[in-house]
């Protein structure tokens, strides 16, 4: 890769919302027909793919999301802080087209030792798996009920 091409690639990546980039081949569950709509940072592709592959309720959750035009959003990070490895993630559902959140969210955090990047990545894989399991267990808890229609009477 030439220096100029490398700089152009870096500039393109810097101007792109990495949370919204989800290549088609990263959304598909092996052997499944439903493509799970999930937004996440590309840095964690392996962790998300592994968690999706291990998700017992994949087909049911994927169908639930697709029928409602929703996607799972995973926003998180991992690292080392004050001598401990950590990983934290916020998981919520959003409208696929508008990206608007549709209700509740959950925050999942794990701490561990040793305080190194390998442990931090392992913890991140664990919080990704746990957050997907939480959504699969009861996706309706992530959806805010619609307000009651006014009756016209006061």
Using CA atoms, how far residue 101 sits from 78, 111, 119, 142, in Å, is 23, 27, 31, 9
Mean pLDDT computed over every residue of the chain:
80
Is residue 152 very low, low, confident or very high in pLDDT (cuts 50, 70, 90)? low
- Closest C-alpha among 48, 22, 43, 102 to residue 70: 102
**pLDDT tens-digit series, residues 34-75:** 889 999 988 899 999 999 999 999 999 999 999 999 999 999
Per-residue pLDDT, averaged over 100-117, amounts to 94
Is residue 154 very low, low, confident or very high in pLDDT (cuts 50, 70, 90)? low
- Closest C-alpha among 75, 73, 37, 61 to residue 140: 61
Residue 114, both tokens: 């040793």
Residue 44, both tokens: 């964690």
Which domains are seen in the chain, by residue range? 17-142 (3.30.160)
Instruction: Report percent pLDDT > 70 for the chain.
Output: 73
Using CA atoms, how far residue 54 sits from 48, 70, 76, 126, in Å, is 10, 21, 20, 12
């Amino acid at each position: 890769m030439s220096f100029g091409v490398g700089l152009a690639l870096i500039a393109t990546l810097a101007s792109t919302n990495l949370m919204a980039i989800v290549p088609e081949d990263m959304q598909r569950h092996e052997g499944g027909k439903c493509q799970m709509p999930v937004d996440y940072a590309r840095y964690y592709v392996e962790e998300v793919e592994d968690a999706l592959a291990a998700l017992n309720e994949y087909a049911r959750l994927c169908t639930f999301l697709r029928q409602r035009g929703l996607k799972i959003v995973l926003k998180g990070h991992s690292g080392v802080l004050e001598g401990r490895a950590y990983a934290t993630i916020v998981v919520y559902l959003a409208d696929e087209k508008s990206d608007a959140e549709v209700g509740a969210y959950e925050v999942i955090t794990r701490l561990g030792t040793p305080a190194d990047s390998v442990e931090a990545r392992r913890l991140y894989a664990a919080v990704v798996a746990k957050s997907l399991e939480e959504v699969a267990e009861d996706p309706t808890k992530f959806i805010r009920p619609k307000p009651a229609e006014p009756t016209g009477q006061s």
